[in-house]
Structure 1
Amino acid sequence: MFPSAGRSALTRASKPPFRFRGCLYAKRRASVQLSKSAPRNVPVPPSADDAVIISELDRPSTSYASSPLSPTGLFRHNILTTPIQFKLLADATQRRAEILTERIVRARESREELYKVVKNLDRLSDMLCGVIDLAELIRNTHPDRVWVEHAELVYDQLCQFMNVLNTHTGLYEVLSTVLSDPDIVKSLDAEARETALIFWRDFEKSGVNLPPAQREHFVSLSSEILSIGREFMMESSKPRPPAIIKPMELRGLKDGGMGMRIRLQADATQRDMLVYPGSPQAQMIMTSAPEEEPRRKVYMASNSSTEKQVYLLDRMLQARGEIARLVGKESYAAMALSDKMAKCPENVNHFINALLDHTSPYARRALRALSIRKQAHLNTSPFPIIQAWDRDYYCPPEPPAPPVSLPSLTLGTVFMGLSRLFRALYGVTLRLSDVAPGEAWHKDVKKLEVVDEEQGILGWIYADLFARRGKPSGAAHYTVRCSRRTDHDDVHGDLAFAQDQRDRDAIEIAKSFDSVHRSRIPGRQGVFQLPLVVLVCEFSRPSARSGPTTLAWHEVVTLFHEMGHAMHSMIGRTEYQNVSGTRCATDFVELPSILMEHFLNSPTVLSLFDISGKPIRQVANHHEDPCRSIDTHTQILLAALDQIYHSPAVMQDDFNSTTALAKLYETRGLIPYVPGTSWQTQFGHLFGYGATYYSYLFDRAIASRVWRNLFSHDPLNRETGERFKNEILQHGGAKDPWEMVSTLLNEPGMAGGDAEAMAEVGRWKIEDEVPTRH
């Protein structure tokens, strides 16, 4: 019963398809505190921490001294100094989990134990997620191959064990006993009840109550989906065969550095050119080649598929349909959406249809403008059809730009701005902390304490920010450890179920891993496990020769987005890890991160990048992409395609994903489908997002509404920030997201989250200013 742990927001595809849900206190105050009643529009005063952030993040990294005697283990876990110890920890954790599982299964032998079932299930999930999520981080980021290999072993071992728990009839029966006992249910607070229901729903979605043969088939299908999905992702990322371009087809290629080189190469050799999809040459041709034929060839090459790629996708979709039928659902979408804000496929379609109705007129106007450009270019009759290979030529993509003119933004400056923004809104500051030898996996990793002016340290963000060989591309947010209350754990009670000294030793080893990063929080009862988050990016590294890292605007947007996830993890403070921070509904989890992007549209917020805090008065620099509505329309079609691919249609004998794609474009598309293409095999989100790809558009609409109604007129207002923190961030998945959103926006009619509420969100304006991200 896994939550949304690991990579940024929604990309959890490589984990089990079900969620066994999962996945040092020092009282310190920020150098400068802001009163919650601080006057509006007063510049945020600088603090000593601001200057430290800039100096530390903008200077070249230096190697930390290693200690041959007793280096600190990863994340200050003494047991994690070597890869072999990581495997030993995994073995001890699995044995400890088996012991705790036995305790839960036997809970009906004691009334007192039944009252502890929900807490113990959450503990069981947390102890496994803590190691699995760490393994996921290590296998994706660690530069040492031996560490990676051991992380792969740990990951596969514990995920297999997790799948066993997901279909454990004994655990399900005990939980059913708890939920059918009025006295026990009455003793549970709202958060505990929600946690119990999450476990119960997830057990049922895993087919735990099926007859043995069908349950075995369910497990087999789950393994097949995971295996095929991984292969599908590998195949989708493989390079496509090149387009063969004749030199004469490049006549008139627009001047410019690369364009000139391509033309000179073609003229000099007079040989056909091999242009590989995704290459700079391919991008140049798509945006700059006046002749239509080379653009068409590059498009066809870029959107071709092998038979194997199409087969893998179709089989994955059909296996998902089969698994849904096993648990009594008519489609995978119906199964996947039952615990989301949308609730059912019909409601998703209400949202998509309303959004299409709102967006289509703007997209058609933009398409007509492109048609007029094509008419003038080719001297054709009015309004020629815009083909798929025309879009980038007649409306070349422009890099995103800030709304006002800004000086170059260094990495340290942007992090300073983030810290000052969080201080203004939430009374929370980012503070750099020393990284001990062995605590991080690379010398470039920086450690940030997240410090609340009243509660002290909320948690830690480890920032692995710079590109290096072997490191995955893109940006990601890993939740390595969630917050939860720990003083009610009753670990001593586990020892009664240990069979021998080896069991007791395993419990002690696993306990030593759990016991780090705990704290009492002022103003709250109990001891809490503090969250650990890792932020991974691929920025250029600062150096003595080139100076500090300077971020392009899209990189600033990326950083703000990922830090939105990080702060959700930091501020979320629940008693159960299953509902902590980003462990919430898939179609709700992107709201805080997308909202963070909106703050970059405010000159008031951008003034935080200046350590003097002076308001920015430059002339506006923002330009609106005239084709943005076309791209938004395309994203809506992708969401619609995702629903089709996870509908009952996939169980028909004649189902073909390419045919379904072509039909969607014929009925709802703007730009015609190109016969012979099958770009759905590059739609990697079909694996990770299965039936929930609409979520990003959905949260874009909600975030846009929150920004306009609450923040746009006064983005640094502490009262509004506290309201968002208290209504949204701190609850994670412990409250119904519809209730949270309706309360925040003061729209009580939305609280029920019915079909009309979904359609209403579809009618809300999706922002034009914020770049589309995934």
Structure 2
Amino acid sequence: MTNPLLETWDTPFGVPPWEQIDDSDFAPAIDAGMEAARAAVAAISASDAAPTFANTIEALERSGRDLDRVLGAFFAAASADSNEAREALMREVSPKLSAHASAIHSDKALFRRIETLWQDREELGLSDEQARVLYLVRRGFVRAGAGLEGATEARLTEVKARLSVLGTAFTQNLLADERGWYMELDEAELEGLPPFLVAAARAAGRDNGHDGPVITLSRSLIVPFLQFSPLRALRRRAWEAWSARGANGGETDNRALAAEILALREERAGLLGYDSFADYKLETEMAGTPAAVRELLMRVWQPARAAALADEVRLTAMLHADGEAGPLEPWDWRYYSEKRRREEHDLDEAELKPYLQLDRMVEAAFGCANRLFGLEFAPAEVPHYHPDCRAWEVRRDGEHVGLFIADYFARSGKRSGAWCTTMRDQSRLDGEVRPLVLNVCNFARPAEGAPALLSWDDARTLFHEFGHALHQLLSDVTYATVSGTSVARDFVELPSQLFEHWLEVPEVLTEYATHAETGEAMPGEMLQKVLGAATYDMGFQTVEYLASALVDLAFHDGEAPADPMQRQAEVLEELGMPHAIGMRHATPHFAHVFAGDGYSCGYYSYMWSEVMDADAFEAFKEAGGPFDPEMAKALETHVLSAGGSAEAAELYQRFRGRMPGVEALLKGRGLADAA
């Protein structure tokens, strides 16, 4: 029998032929892809021809296309629609892929060809993009250990393989804990919960095989439960389950894995000649050094902590007024903060939510992309890995731009959080290749036949991930190496966080925030309340984020801690972490940091990018408004279409004319007065 993953995909837009693919097809297709890539690389390194950019760098760019195609499909399904077979294959494939990459980076003949090109680069007549690709390829080989020999090289290969195994195990343990916990509610325990949450809990119950409502560890369920349930004992039970993910003992406990990951990262950096993993990781980022990261984070920490402590006093008084003794606890904050928001801003999220329909917020994101960049979105019928997925063809001036796929609802088998990925990157080395872009979220599923309603945070997440999608869709480069979001980690969040600002544009909400039952636009009074409360509780939000970012930095800047949980506690004590605020991501479920190297020592990057996104949106306001055509064109030209074709700082300065300061960020978060 033929393997559909190895055949030509005769599908609309070249998406994977999901209806033909069986899980058993993935392993042989991945093996075949690696074999083809190895043969292609061997041909490059064994060539008698003098190295040229075309026969070495471009040939290397082409060498893994078959493998990339299969992996794009596999990782999309394994992350968003996992099952036992896919989880087993992830455990099998991860070390194989690590060994595959190590073998390529260890090819001395290949590296000599690359090094020759690097030494002769001034005489090669390269375009700016080609020069950038050569620089990145050589840097990648050096940082992967291409210059190492003997036992040191062999040990680095072992370390990277083990890290790939541990990252997969960390992810799967976390998914198992999230999938395995739920809290059944009886009718009396639905007291105080708004209708949208009751409906979502009943839907979650059906999904989990129960007749009644349940609360799961999906953020879109558990956060509103903590906001609205007046039953303190249930809030505590939910909070403790949520915060204990990855730390429940037994086979799914991630604490020992985290310690081993940190130790191996330290060893990896040492083998490559760096003082710490932080020095190694930050070398390629905009921040450059651990000191620069810490300086930014601490500049924001002090005013954020001051604001949070002032809020804690108010919320504690409300707790005591309800007859509850003792201090405010983490399972209390959201509940009393929601009550205070209703009192001070007369804004009830339960009243707001009917105006934030999922479909209308999708239309809002599309509408903003149309006004800014001329993009048009038409529903597309294509095969999907899950029935929840929807697709749109993206066009501009009649020309195909790419395919956008969205998978919005939480379900068993989907890892938590939200992300953007591609099943095919944009490039034009051998003709125009347009991207297949996927947004994945975990919004609460509505009752059958009812519209899906979002919280304000959900709507912001939708815009955020769509900002990443625009970075992929508008990419306009020749080489996939620098396509789309292939940029410095502390620059990649700029487009996503910047696009969040358009959710707060009054004319956008006036047009798209319409009531799910009446169809009426959000009343002007409510609109003003929403925008007026935009920085409400920002001390809490900033502190929970910064605590995670500072712990991440401490883990990697210096000697790896033998006991990460003890080191986490020490960092929080040094910071004076408010008792009633938990870290956004505690160590055992800190997937950003431990599921792979992507955000390791890089969780700070959201705030580094926020310094730029706050400044960038100010540029729109200074120029004539959020839809100023000249600023939109500059943003597309210098940021969204450019990918990683130049250094991030250079790209931002082309757009803005200068680098930003932290002032716009503090102002945007409502923390300027506390600074």
TM-score, normalized by the shorter chain, greater than 0.5: yes
**Aligned pair partner of 1:725 in 636, 656, 663:** 636
Question: Which whole-Å CA distance do the structure 2 matches of 1:540 and 1:302 have between them?
Answer: 16
**Would you say 1:180 and 2:119 are equivalent positions?**
yes
Q: Does 1:528 align with 2:398?
A: no
Distance 1:257 1:445 in 2: 29
Shift of 1:412: 4.0
The aligned residue for residue 451 of structure 1 is 395
1:271-304 deviation line (CA, Å, top 9, x unaligned):
xxxx99959899868976798x997787667656
Pair 1:242–1:674, CA change in 2 (3 A): farther
Q: How far, CA to CA, are the matches of 1:233 and 1:649 in structure 2? A: 24
Equivalents in 2 of 1:117, 1:449: separation in Å? 35
Residues 111 and 141, structure 2, Cα contact 8 Å, conserved in 1? yes
Q: Does 1:199 align with 2:137?
A: yes
Identity %: 23
C-alpha spacing 1:287/1:239, structure 2 compared with 1 (3 Å): farther
Tell me if 1:666 matches 2:573.
yes
2:384 matched to 1:440? yes
Report whether the alignment pairs 1:425 with 2:329: no
Q: Which moved more, 1:655-664 or 1:620-629?
A: 620-629
1:116 aligns with 2:55: yes
> What is the aligned counterpart of 1:680 among 587, 590, 596?
587
Distance 1:429 1:331, change over 3 A: same
CA RMSD of aligned residues (A): 4.4
Q: Residue 206 of structure 2 aligns with which residue?
A: none
CA positional deviation for 1:568: 0.7
Distance 2:412 2:181 in 1: 26
Instruction: State yes or no: 1:395 paired with 2:333.
Output: no
1:618 paired to 2:524: yes
Letter in 1 for 2:501: H
Partner of 2:273: helix, strand, or coil?
Answer: coil
Distance 2:377 2:459 in 1: 17
- Describe the shift of the 1:255–1:90 C-alpha distance in structure 2 as closer, same or farther (beyond 3 A): closer
Deviation at 1:358, TM superposition (A): 4.1
- 1:766 positional shift: 6.4
Conservation of the 8 A alpha-carbon contact between 1:425 and 1:719: no
Q: Which moved more, 1:529-538 or 1:636-645?
A: 529-538
Aligned residue number for residue 262 of structure 2: 317
Q: Which residue of 1 aligns with 2:69?
A: 130
Q: What number of residue pairs does the alignment pair up? A: 613
Deviation at 1:377, TM superposition (A): 6.0
Q: By percentage of residues, which structure has more helix?
A: 2
Residues 697 and 404 (structure 1), Cα distance of their counterparts in 2 relative to 1, 3 Å cut = farther
Taking structure 1 as the reference length, what is the TM-score of the superposition?
Answer: 0.69
Q: CA deviation at 1:149?
A: 7.5
Shift of 1:94: 3.0
Deviation sequence 1:3-62 (CA, Å, 0-9, x none):
xxxxxxxxxxxxxxxxxxxxxxxxxxxxxxxxxxxxxxxxxxxxxxxxxxxxxxxxxxxx
Query: Which amino acid in structure 1 is aligned with residue 34 of structure 2?
Result: Q
Aligned-residue offset at 1:594: 1.2
1:622-681 superposed Cα distances (whole Å, 9 cap, x missing partner)? 135643212312211211110111122316xxx422222222222212324999xx9532
Q: Which residue of 1 aligns with 2:606?
A: 696
Query: Structure 2 CA distance, aligned partners of 1:442 and 1:385?
Result: 45
Q: Take 1:297 and 1:460, find their aligned partners in 2: how far apart are those partners? A: 42
In structure 2, C-alpha distance between the alignment counterparts of 1:290 and 1:447, rounded to whole Å: 41
Deviations 1:552-571 (A, max 9, x none): 44433232222111111010
Normalising by structure 2, report the TM-score.
Answer: 0.78
Call closer, same or farther: CA 1:310–1:173 in 2, change over 3 Å.
Answer: same
What corresponds to 1:627 in structure 2? 537
Bigger mean CA offset, 402-411 vs 580-589 = 402-411
Where 2:377 maps in the other structure, the secondary structure is strand
Q: 1:321 to 1:144 in 2, by over 3 A?
A: closer
User: What's 1:416 paired with?
Assistant: 363
State the SS of the aligned residue for 2:666.
Answer: coil
Tell me which residue corresponds to 1:481: 424
**Is 2:513 the counterpart of 1:606?**
no
Give the AA of the match of 1:138.
A
Q: How big is each residue's C-alpha offset from its partner over 1:455-511, in whole Å with a ceiling of 9 and x where there is no partner?
A: x11111133445566455543322111111233xxxxxxxxxxxxxxxxxxxxxxxx
2:666 partner amino acid = K
How many Å separate the matches in 2 of 1:324 and 1:481? 31
Gaps in structure 2 of 5+ consecutive residues: 1-7, 184-188, 199-213, 515-519
1:738 equivalenced with 2:642 (yes/no): no
Distance 1:576 1:693 in 2: 27
Instruction: Choose 410-419 or 213-222, whichever is displaced more.
Output: 410-419
CA change 1:535–1:243 in 2 (3 A) is closer
CA spacing shift, 1:723–1:106, aligned 2, 3 Å: same
State the match for 1:563 in structure 2.
466
Match of 2:312 among 367, 386, 392: 367
- Maintained 8 Å contact 1:105/1:170: yes
Amino acid at match of 1:663: E
In structure 2, do the counterparts of structure 1 residues 386 and 443 end up closer, same or farther at CA, with 3 Å as the change threshold? closer
For residues 730-769 of structure 1, the aligned pairs below 5 Å read: 730-747=641-658, 750=659, 760-761=661-662, 764-765=665-666, 767-768=668-669
Structure 2 counterpart of 1:230 = 168
What residue number does 1:256 align with? 192
1:576: how far off? 0.7
2:39 to 92, 99, 102: 99
Q: Report the residue type matching 1:621 in the other structure.
A: K
Give the stretch that moved more between structures: 401-410 or 131-140.
Answer: 401-410
State the alpha-carbon separation in 1 of the partners of residues 222 and 284 from structure 2: 45
C-alpha displacement at 1:319, in angstroms?
1.1
Rate the CA distance shift 1:695–1:115 in 2: closer, same or farther, 3 A.
Answer: same
- The structural deviation recorded for 1:528 is 1.5
Cα distance in 2 for partners of 1:360, 1:469 equals: 36
1:391 is aligned with what amino acid?
A: W
Q: 1:319 to 1:638 in 2, by over 3 A?
A: same
User: Partners in 2 of 1:319 and 1:127 — Cα distance?
Assistant: 31
Counterparts in 2 of 1:30-429, with a 5 A limit?
72-73=10-11, 76=14, 81-83=20-22, 89-107=29-47, 109-111=48-50, 113=52, 115-141=54-80, 158=97, 160-184=99-123, 186-237=124-175, 239=177, 256=192, 303=243, 305=247, 309-373=254-318, 388=330, 390-392=332-334, 394-396=336-338, 408-429=355-376
**C-alpha displacement of 1:181:** 1.3
Secondary structure (helix, strand or coil) at the match of 2:256 reads helix
1:373-399 Cα shifts (integer Å, max 9, x gaps): 45666799xxx9655455345434879
8 Å CA contact 2:95, 2:162 repeated in 1: no
> Residues of 2 paired with 1:165 and 1:659: CA distance?
39
* 1:538 Cα deviation from its structure 2 partner: 4.9
Further displaced range: 458-467 or 406-415: 406-415
> Residue 721 of structure 1: SS of its match in structure 2?
helix
CA distance in 2, matches of 1:763, 1:151: 42
SS of residue matched to 1:648: coil
Cα gap change, 1:135 to 1:661, in 2 (>3 Å):
same
Residues 427 and 661 (structure 1), Cα distance of their counterparts in 2 relative to 1, 3 Å cut: same
| SS of residue paired to 2:400 | strand
Give the Cα–Cα distance (whole angstroms) in 2 for the partners of residues 209 and 157 of structure 1. Answer: 22
- Of 581, 592, 597, the residue aligned with 2:484 is 581
CA distance in 2, matches of 1:220, 1:718: 52
Aligned CA distance change for structure 1 residues 547 and 729 (closer, same or farther; 3 Å): same
Q: SS of the counterpart of 2:668?
A: coil
**Secondary structure of the equivalent of 2:485?**
coil
Distance 1:143 1:313 in 2: 23
In the aligned structure 1, how far is the partner of 2:413 from the partner of 2:237? 32
1:666-713 CA distance string (max 9 Å, x none): 2212324999xx953232322142100101122223212211232486
Which SS does the other structure have where 2:492 is aligned?
A: coil
Q: Specify the SS of the correspondent of 2:148.
A: coil
Offset at residue 338 of structure 1 (A): 1.1
What secondary structure, in the 3-state scheme, does the structure 1 residue paired with 2:559 have?
helix
